[in-house]
Amino acid sequence: MLYVYKFGGTSISDASRIKHVAKIATDKRKKIVVCSALDGVTEKLIHLAELASRGRETDVTHLIGEVNSLHSTLLDGAIASKEAREEASKRIKEVVEHLTVISTACARVREVTPKERDAILSCGEMLSSPILSAAITERGADSLYMTGGEAGIVTDDNFGDAVPIFEMTYHNIKRKVLPLVESGKIPVVAGYTAKTQHGDISTLGRGGSDYTATLIGAAVRAEEVILWSDVDGLMTADPRIVNEARVIDEVSYAEAREMAMFGAKSMHPRCLDPAEEFGIKVRFKNTFKPEGSGTLVKKSAKISGAVRAVLLVRDASAITVKGTSMVGKPGSAASIFNQVAKTGTNIMMISQSVSESNISFVVRRDGARRAARALERTMLSSGELASISVEDDISVVATIGENMKGTPGIAAILFRALADRGINVKMIAQGSSEMNISIVVDEIDGIEAVRAIHKAFGLDLL
Ligand code: ADP
Ligand code: ASP
Ligand code: MG
């Protein structure tokens, strides 16, 4: 029986945590380990790419120095054996050099292409994986580190949010990683990173280490993929917002997918797909409380209650398009969404007025300007649309549960809870699966709305 253990950034962010994680990783099970970048490092690298694109070479050098010393200090604190430390230290030096070459070149020409940005962003996992591997080696196990590309993950060239080429990826992982485990080794794979068919480095999108873990789990038909983090499992709400949030024991793939789409645990939105396809169980566990059973995602999960979780998407924007030429004209909505899709922007919810003269839809804030500009260039200039507006100060609150389908009265409880707190609902959408009611509220009401709904459905009492 083979397992995949993925450790998130907070689980490995200091020397004692690295040692603790190495202990978990050297339990008796056969396994493949996946690790994220250290907590906050991907954000630093995003900032680095931004500085490079503005030509700020001195700041770029300074930030690389910071990233380097963060990892070198961690290595010195976490690894006692000189030999293990030297090997990891050599690798850190190599990655830092690579990072320096790319980012200074970008800073000089004041441009960072999506391909270069991925080469920069992938360095976080490429720096953390040798440290974790050294800590595992130090516990007497035989460990080695590898990038996602070396492990066999191949993607298209949609840099920043690359899509795996599944069959090839599964085939490669079986061929490259499985023999290592069979020979008693513990591979530590840099999550989030992959390569294109041309051999360029790509990344799987934010939260992508979870995706790396499920891709590997599907390829090797793992008994279970365990996503180790700093919370007890998937919870009824973000515990940073709702103190009374509870761990959910079991969820179905469909519920977990819906939760991922609405930002639960900053999971990659597609990370459960490979597990669902091959029926691989996924478990969310707390690194700091390994004795807890966490949350299990599986096919026939025990589902109690209709509403299971309430989630908040803060970084959202609503785009409203107007135009009388849309009235009664079949295909106008399709053209709009087609233009948005071409920009790689995912639409979270849609609502159209009965008069058909306007359509509002919600996207992640970082894609809103790109989507609006694409519509301006195409449909506004051709007269198909009369106006396009973007509203940024909104949040989406998603109420999720597989058994909401067919349970009467859910909407009534939800809207009463909001009305009682004087929260204005700006937009409503229910997914066709009836597994999710999403509402848009003013950004300042977001947290209060989550708390009100969480309480109204008694999620704190489960
Ligand atoms: P990791 O680094 O382990 O991948 P993340 O930082 O990506 O962890 O995600 C963990 C955080 O997600 C938690 O600290 C928690 O605050 C937040 N979170 C948001 N929604 C949920 C939820 N429904 N259940 C559990 N955690 C959640
Ligand atoms: N380091 C990447 C991110 O922060 C991937 C991950 O942590 O899952 O998005
Ligand atoms: Mg994460």
Question: Would residue 134 count as lying in a domain?
Answer: yes
| % of the chain surpassing 90 pLDDT | 84
Residue 327 has pLDDT above 80, yes or no: no
Do 194 and 337 have their domain in common? no
Do 203 and 340 have their domain in common? no
Question: Would residue 421 count as lying in a domain?
Answer: yes
Question: Would residue 52 count as lying in a domain?
Answer: yes
Do 351 and 448 have their domain in common? yes
Question: Would residue 123 count as lying in a domain?
Answer: yes
CA dist 396 and 442 (Å) reads 9
pLDDT band at residue 435 under the 50/70/90 scheme: very high
- CATH at residue 135: 3.40.1160.10
Tokens 């597990």: give the residue: 275
Closest ligand 2 atom to the C-alpha of 209? 8
Residue 240 has pLDDT above 90, yes or no: yes
Question: Would residue 281 count as lying in a domain?
Answer: no
Q: What pLDDT score was predicted for residue 265?
A: 86
- CATH at residue 390: 3.30.2130.10
Question: Would residue 233 count as lying in a domain?
Answer: no
Mean pLDDT value across the chain: 94
Do 199 and 324 have their domain in common? no
Do 325 and 212 have their domain in common? no
Question: What number is the average pLDDT over the span 198-216?
Answer: 97
Do 211 and 346 have their domain in common? no
- Report residue 310 as tokens: 């309430």
Least-confidence region, from 68-82, 111-125, 204-218, 430-444:
430-444
Do 99 and 213 have their domain in common? yes
| Domain closes at, from 185, 220, 255 | 220
Least-confidence region, from 90-94, 156-160, 352-356:
352-356
Closest ligand 2 atom to the C-alpha of 206? 9
Which residues span the domain enclosing 10?
A: 2-220
Ligand 1 within 6 A of CB of 285: no
Question: What number is the average pLDDT over the span 209-217?
Answer: 98
Output the CA 107–ligand 1 centroid distance in Å: 34
Ligand 1 within 6 A of CB of 125: no
Do 214 and 340 have their domain in common? no
Do 68 and 213 have their domain in common? yes
Residue 150 has pLDDT above 70, yes or no: yes
Residue 462 has pLDDT above 70, yes or no: no
Question: Would residue 253 count as lying in a domain?
Answer: no
CA dist 74 and 9 (Å) reads 13
pLDDT band at residue 406 under the 50/70/90 scheme: confident
Among 218, 320, 227, 231, which Cα is nearest to 279's?
218
Question: What number is the average pLDDT over the span 63-91?
Answer: 96
Instruction: Please tell me the chain's helix, strand, coil percentages from 3-state DSSP, rounded to the nearest 5.
Output: 45, 25, 30
Question: Would residue 111 count as lying in a domain?
Answer: yes
Ligand 1 within 6 A of CB of 9: yes
CA dist 352 and 360 (Å) reads 6
Do 215 and 105 have their domain in common? yes
CA dist 240 and 307 (Å) reads 20
| Domain closes at, from 186, 220, 254 | 220
| Domain closes at, from 168, 195, 220 | 220
**Where does ligand 2 bind, in terms of residues with CB under 6 Å?**
9, 36-37, 42, 124, 191-192, 206-210
| % of the chain surpassing 70 pLDDT | 100
Residues flanking ion ligand 3, Cβ below 5 Å: 8, 207, 266
Do 327 and 198 have their domain in common? no
Do 18 and 165 have their domain in common? yes
Atom 10, ligand 1: which residue's CA is nearest?
A: 265
Handedness of CA 410, 413, 416, 418 (dihedral sign): negative
Q: What pLDDT score was predicted for residue 345?
A: 86
DSSP 185-247: EEEEEETTEEEETTS-EEE--TTHHHHHHHHHHHHTT-SEEEEEESSSSSBSS-TTT-TT--B
Domain count along the chain: 2
Residue 398 has pLDDT above 80, yes or no: yes
